[in-house]
Amino acid sequence: MNLCTEVRALAIADATIVGKIGGASAPRFWNEWQRTYTVPCAVMELGAMKESDELDGQVGMVIADFTITCRAATETAAYELWQAMRTKLAGYSGTFDLVLESTDSTSTPLAEGSTDCWYDKIMNFHGIFTP
């Protein structure tokens, strides 16, 4: 299972999220930062993974750090996308579990010396899933 693909599919199935992130034909969910010049968007990053062995010695579940960054041109838009994603994930019960560890907010200048920014709302999770 690919956790990023599963979360993306879940989000794309939600009309509220799709409406905030670019429409059903091309919602902007990325797993690479180079594509974030078009906002609003969400960037999903899967960190280090650790296999959790079952009692019989077989690999059972994988535990991994998982981050979703909701980026937008305004702080309000970033928050609204973050809230929609958080609500959708909180109500999910299925092939993976995400335990919210922390949230953060940042702003990133569009260019060096620029006063215009992209605004980020960040969710850091521990993901638990079957490989």
Show the domains of the chain with their CATH numbers. 3-129 (3.30.2000.10)
51: Cβ–Cβ under 8 A, 6 or more apart, which residues?
Answer: 59, 60, 61, 62, 131
- Confidence (pTM): 0.85
Average pLDDT, the chain: 85
Question: pLDDT, tens digit, for every residue of 76-127?
Answer: 999 999 999 999 999 898 889 999 999 999 998 888 888 889 999 999 999 8
- The answer to whether the peptide bond before residue 40 is cis (omega within 30 degrees of 0) is yes
In this structure, are residues 78 and 120 in contact, taking their beta carbons and an 8 Å threshold?
yes
Highest-confidence range of 1-5, 38-42, 104-108, by mean pLDDT?
Answer: 104-108
